[in-house]
Every structure is written in structure tokens, then in C-alpha cells.
Amino acid sequence: MLSSRLVPRASRVSRASSASVARSACRVLRCYSSMPAPNNIQYNEAPFLASSASKALSYLPESVDKSEGTTSMNLYQAVNDAMRIAMETDEKSILLGEDVAFGGVFRCSMGLQDKFGPDRVFNSPLSEQGIIGFAIGYAAVGLTAIAEIQFADYVFPAFDQIVNEAAKMRYRSGAYDVGGLTIRMPCGSVGHGALYHSQSGEAFFAHSPGLKVVMPRSPLQAKGLLLASIRDKNPVIFMEPKILYRASVEHVPLADFELPLGQAEVVKQGSDITLVGYGAMVYQLEKAAQLAKQKLGVDCEIIDLRTVVPWDRQTVVESVNKTGRCLIAHEAPRTNGIAADVAAEIQQRCFLRLESPVCRITGVDTHVSLAFEHFQLPNVTRIFDGIKKTIEY
């Protein structure tokens, strides 16, 4: 049994450890003392959101009837609407996952079982490999499966099913394909997710030929990209930044429409530096671009990749050839992240046009801490500092 005399010493050690952590935190804060940390983002005020019906309808292809108009939706409502339309237009489609029957933990599937019945919208056991294995088999016989993984952090038990079965099915089989497979998963930071509810694992799937990886930035984008993913002839990993589910509202067309996979969007024109991101990071880039304009007079161009794999090289290269500078940001860790591939491609294709090295602002190469999550992930200040250093190089 431990002696009671050891307790005061243990307390002193604990206090010393806490003091050390506090000093480390202060050092981090001093590094980014030019702005409050964390940097609060007013997601609903982002200028790239469709704030009017006319702006929302401008995204529709000419072939789509615009007479249905638009309605205001947040991101989880847009995901729900996309799945409703997909299931209405394809009677062979199903939705499965943990708790999807009552709406899921984020309410994305709310009301769908009532509309389509328990044979098409149903709960699964708590087994990610089981969910994906079932969905692969269903899609392999020519049907449409929409599988939900409750959190992207928990998809890894199904990694073998996704990488060795779904991704390779078309290549290795002359008769079977899983092009009717879409795997949805909430991802990314919310500020208090810590080890198991903060991860962005897109780079894992980017290394697997045969998969497409998509991450939307807003409700309108989520609806159009999800419908395109469900109908794509390849298995698609559809990653939904959970911090955006209720963060912003925009006009979303009521019509059945798709946004093209593999095509980036220039959400803000600029001339001095190209900022590249996807998902929730686009909001951070936009806020940093505003700050750069105010403090440095720098005109930033912002590109939302939308599809992480395959990413739109042409749009990015054309922009960097124009601006001569580039900064890439994502929440995922730095080493072997998507930014590394984009930076390498830019270096190869734009070398003679570059005025400075390509800058990467990413999550740090460590596990996400509950206490320091805001400081481990990219924020407005880190992006602004990156812009400033790139411009002044």
C-alpha cells in the first residue's frame, strides 16, 4: 500500500506537470499573439455562401428546371435532402448505419425511414467492417448503397473492406463493380473532440486507387456533391465536416441537381497569392484573406478543391501561374497530407512562375489534445502569418 507521505509529493508532481503544460501553452499563445486565439469564425457571414435565390440557382446546369426555386438549409438538412432525392429517383437504393433509422446522431437521416420504410433505411450493428462489407456486397450486384459511419475516426476497422475490396472491385473483376457505393462520414474538429472525434483522414483514402474522396464546404455544395457521389460509377468517400452541420445557412435549390466531382471552384478572384483548401478550412482561408487585404493590401485568390481525389490540377495550376504564390491549408496532419501532393504538383508545373516557396498550413503531426485542439489546427492567425511570409519572401 502506498504511504500517505507520498501523496503530497504526488500532488507536487502533478502541479509541476500542470505548470509545465501551462508554460508550453503560453509559449504557443505568444507565437500567435497578434490575434485572439482561437480565432472565432462567423460561418454564416462567409461571402461565398449563396445568400440569395439567384446566386444559388446560378449553380444549376442549364438542363435543370429552376422553377422549383430555393429554400434555406443548413448542411445536415442539405445532406438529408440529397439522400431523399437519391432514394426517390432510385428505388434500389438503401441507407444503412448506426442509428440512421431515427435520424442519426447529427439528424442527417431524419424522416427517411418514415418515408422509405425499414427495408430501405435501417440500423446496423455497431460494426464498421460489417456496415461497409454489407454495402459493398449490395453495390456489387448493381444496386445503390449509402453507408454511414457515425464518426470518421471510427472508419478504420473497415479499412480492409474499403481499400482491399471496394477500391479494387472494378479492377480485379470482369463482372462486378461497386460504383453504387457511397460512404458518408462526419469528420474534423469541433473544438472539443480530442483523440477520437477530431480526425480528418482523407489522406488515408487518397492513397488507394479506385476511390474518390469529396468534402463539401456548405449546404448547397453538400447537396450537389452528394447526389453526384451517389450516382458516380466509382465508390466515393463523402466526408462531412461536422462543425459545419449547423454553422451556416444558405439558399439551396429544391431541384435534383449535381455538382461535378473532380472540379474545383474559385470562390474568390485575386491577383497576389492563391489560397487552396477544402471543407471547413475554406472559411478560415476567407477570413485570413480579408485580414491580408486590410493589413497588407494583399489580394488573395481562394480555391475550394471540393473533390480531394481526384483534385483539380488545372484550376490550381492556372491560378498559381497567375499569382506566382500559393498557400495550402487543411486540418489533417502535415506529413504526407493532401497539401504535400498539391505543393509538389505546383512546384513541378509552375516552377518558373513561382515568386516564393509554396506554403503549407496544416494540423500538427501529433494526436489532437482536448485542451489545445484550437492551437494544433490551422486558424486565421496561422494562415495570415503564412500569407505574410509568402508575400515578403
Helix (H) or strand (E) holding 50, with range, is none
Return d(Cα 328, Cα 25) in angstroms, integer. 25
Q: Are 98 and 126 in contact (CB under 8 A)?
A: yes
Does this model's pTM top 0.85?
Answer: yes
**What residues act catalytically?**
128, 197
Residue 162 contacts by C-beta under 8 Å, 6 or more apart in sequence? 132, 155, 183, 205, 208, 211, 235, 237
53-253 architecture in CATH? 3-Layer(aba) Sandwich (3.40)
Please give the torsion angle defined by the CA atoms of residues 43, 217, 220 and 60, in that order, rounded to the nearest 10 degrees: 130
pLDDT of residue 40: 75
Query: Which residues of the chain, if any, have pLDDT below 70?
Result: 1-39
pLDDT of residue 94: 99
pLDDT of residue 14: 47
pLDDT of residue 172: 87
Length of the chain: 393
Q: Are 82 and 226 in contact (CB under 8 A)?
A: yes
pLDDT of residue 211: 97
pLDDT of residue 7: 38
Class of domain 263-392: alpha beta
3-state helix vs strand vs coil in the chain, percent to 5: 45, 15, 40
Return d(Cα 5, Cα 15) in angstroms, integer. 17
Spell out the domain ranges in the chain: 53-253, 263-392
Q: Are 326 and 358 in contact (CB under 8 A)?
A: yes
pLDDT for 106-123, tens place per residue?
999 999 999 999 999 999
In terms of Cβ atoms closer than 10 Å to its own Cβ (0-12, 13-18, 19+), residue 364 is middle
pLDDT of residue 174: 81
Cα separations in angstroms, 165 against 35, 127, 172, 178, 180: 47, 17, 9, 9, 14
